[in-house]
Structure 1
Amino acid sequence: MTGSERPRVFHLITRLLKGGAEAKTIATVCGLDAYDFTVGYGAEYDSEQVDRLEREGITTKRFPLIRHYNPITAVPAVLSLARYLRREGFDIVHTHSTEAGIIGRFAAALAGVPNVIHTVHGVPFADDRNDVLNRLVLACERQAASYTDRIVTNADVIADDYLKRGIGMSEQYTTVYSGVDLKAFADAEPATDLPGERPRVVMVGRLADGKGHGVLLNAVESLGNFEGSVCIVGDGPLYDSLDADIEDRGLSEQVFLTGFRDDVPRVLAASDVLILPSFREGTPRVITEAMASELPVIATDIAGIPEQVVDGESGYLIPTGNAKMLAERMNELLLDPDLRDRMGKVGWKRAKRFSVETMRDNLDHLYQEFLRE
């Protein structure tokens, strides 16, 4: 790299879909003009996300051998990616998510990339996941950490968790909170086409295992008839089974699947409580988005969520899988608009520490730290 060239940074993510990890990655590469970015992604992708990156002038590259928890293709994926990295000569490789993080760091080591950064978007070890898989991922994460110059976590508690598991050393870790365009949520006009009546409980996210949709349905079922409605916003592999489950439970007049929405700020502006009963997370962007929208949040007490939600002040924290407590907390907030208002205002004040500008500045400083060496 000469003095007149922009540093070349390669980002690699397992799936380029419409989730929080993808949103953070796209916000980074589209918001830092001092670098020449390339975004690599695995077999699964959303063409709209690829088109968006390319409209912004970001080079993209698909690696079809990088697949979600597929050990058969992992070794060929490492070799293929290493050849690509060696040929391209990037200054920094920045990996995201579990599979791309492991494959990408092994490949970067083989290719002799000078600076390797990995972002942990969510803790991959969870009680609802197979124990053999948990142990395999742990062994790979420990080995990959030895090929990593810096591990970026979305919360201090995630770094502590990884260190307790023997992944890397404390000096490798940096916390960078996931950034959100707070103004877009604070100024949003409420959507007028959402099903159901208010007060409206909303859950936003990919319809996939680990998000706790069944816990939410158990909680709603236990409440019986209540004033208001529940909207589950998002798309994914569980859509049809969730639709059938809602019908089988007789909840079709209370719980609604909206499918994917590209107007989440307006959805939150038309809602009253955010629910996120996940079994595994990082520091979920949707919680920050809800706080910027002045919504109280009920979420599981895992990973970085307690650094976002103050239990009893900006919302409630509950144990994973606890539908009974979720129902109790939902009922409290549905029945008390003043409580919702108070908690929402506390959340709005806390949201300022999670702005997209702060996230970009922190990552820019991190890149510059390595490029100066």
Structure 2
Amino acid sequence: MKIAYIITRADAIGGAQVHVKDLAYFLKKQGHEVIVLVGGTGSFTEKLKELDIPYIALRHLVRPINPFKDLLALKEIIDVLREIKPDIISLHSSKAGWLGRLAAKWLKIPVVFTAHGWAFTEGVPKRKQVVYRWAEKLVGSLDDKIITVSNYDRELAIRYKIAHPSKIVTIYNGMPDIDSTLFAKPEVEPVHLIMVARFEEQKDHILLLETLEELKDLPWTLELVGDGPLMEIVRERAEKLGISDKVQFSGACDDVPSRLAKAQIFILTSKWEGFPRSILEAMRAGLPVIASEVGGVKEAVIDGVTGYIIPRRDKEELKKRLKELLLDSHKRIKFGLAGRKRYEEFFTFERMAKQTMEVYQEVIGQKSSKML
């Protein structure tokens, strides 16, 4: 099978980029022919190069809406696809999804769009919700299949009639497993907290810092892994709160599993989410998780079993649960073991890859039948 992946950004590595990289690498090893089409070059294309995954950097595909550039990007995508002749196109991220579906329709190539969290989900600014919802409705009928990474996102798509329910299937994100030497030790004290997230509007680093400021007399340290445009604002906030000596800004890191192994609690405070891969990484490492109740988070974290779910922006509840886990090593161990077990049952990479390939094969089969 020849699969063309299309994704918008190469200048950052988020959940969608990791998903595409891991899946392309796995399928290439299985003997399939894969190629990634991506807007520009950057840290993502460097990763693809390291893994010997073929890619084409698209000159005109950019994240901001720009009618002139978007038309050029559409033509560029059509030209490239016409040349490489894939059996199926797998689309990731909003802009690539929109233009890729138009290109697939024009060329009559089977197409699957994976929604890594809808851009019109609750928590996104209202005006953006309306714009992205209508944009998705315009092209939703062009999909042969839509993969959502959580049931929350599937139900959201059905509620807003993005596509017929029969075209929308949930496949949970999956993560390749790690060596047991990278399992965390939640019982260790003093407790080292960790949050892995880009410094963007979507994440709520400030809420976490303001909560920890009220717990500064307890023994803890916090590591913030990731980069992004709001990093300096968050750093300044830590200084103003008087906790900068307890907070480490590590930037974007290639060794996240090693850093998780040194932590005792994983935290993800967000304003909106799809189905965060960072939470699965933490559960894979055997860490208890405290996360905001947004998107499909509660489909990964079971409240009171593998960690705690906190209502979005609820500082008092976050403080209560953080304090509880900071002071209770036995609960940290129990939650961490339960999280690891849940990862093994539902979120392995092999499970996700198998289900994804079944969708690809189904879509190609349907398209072939229609052409007979």
**8 Å contact kept, 1:83–1:111:** no
Secondary structure at 1:250 match in 2: coil
Match of 1:246 in 2: 238
Counterpart mapping for 1:221-232 below 5 A? 221-232=213-224
**8 Å contact kept, 1:154–1:175:** yes
One of 4, 10, 14 as aligned partner of 2:8 = 14
**Partners of 2:70 and 2:124 in 1: CA distance:** 20
The Cα of 1:189 is off from its aligned counterpart by 6.8
* Paired residue type of 2:71: V
Match of 1:68 in 2: 63
Counterpart mapping for 1:297-308 below 5 A? 297-308=289-300
**8 Å contact kept, 2:275–2:297:** yes
Identity over aligned residues, as a percent? 30
Secondary structure at 1:274 match in 2: strand
Match of 2:352 in 1: 359
Match of 2:48 in 1: 53
**Partners of 1:174 and 1:99 in 2: CA distance:** 21
**Partners of 2:173 and 2:335 in 1: CA distance:** 21
**Partners of 2:118 and 2:136 in 1: CA distance:** 11
The Cα of 1:80 is off from its aligned counterpart by 2.5
Match of 2:250 in 1: 258
Match of 2:115 in 1: 120
**Partners of 2:302 and 2:284 in 1: CA distance:** 15
The Cα of 1:148 is off from its aligned counterpart by 0.3
Match of 1:3 in 2: none
* Paired residue type of 2:73: A
The Cα of 1:190 is off from its aligned counterpart by 6.8
**Partners of 2:168 and 2:125 in 1: CA distance:** 27
Counterpart mapping for 1:90-109 below 5 A? 90-109=86-105
Secondary structure at 2:294 match in 1: coil
1:159 maps onto 2:154 in alignment: yes
**8 Å contact kept, 1:26–1:53:** yes
Secondary structure at 2:118 match in 1: coil
The Cα of 1:85 is off from its aligned counterpart by 2.0
Counterpart mapping for 1:1-373 below 5 A? 7-16=1-10, 17-32=12-27, 33-43=30-40, 45-47=41-43, 49-72=44-67, 73-113=69-109, 115-126=110-121, 128-184=123-179, 186-188=180-182, 198-352=190-344, 353-372=346-365, 373=368
**8 Å contact kept, 1:190–1:267:** no
**Partners of 1:132 and 1:79 in 2: CA distance:** 29
- Runs of 4+ in structure 1 off by over 6 angstroms are none
**8 Å contact kept, 1:313–1:343:** yes
The Cα of 1:245 is off from its aligned counterpart by 1.8
What is the aligned-residue RMSD (CA, Å)? 1.9
* Paired residue type of 1:356: F
**Partners of 2:268 and 2:280 in 1: CA distance:** 12
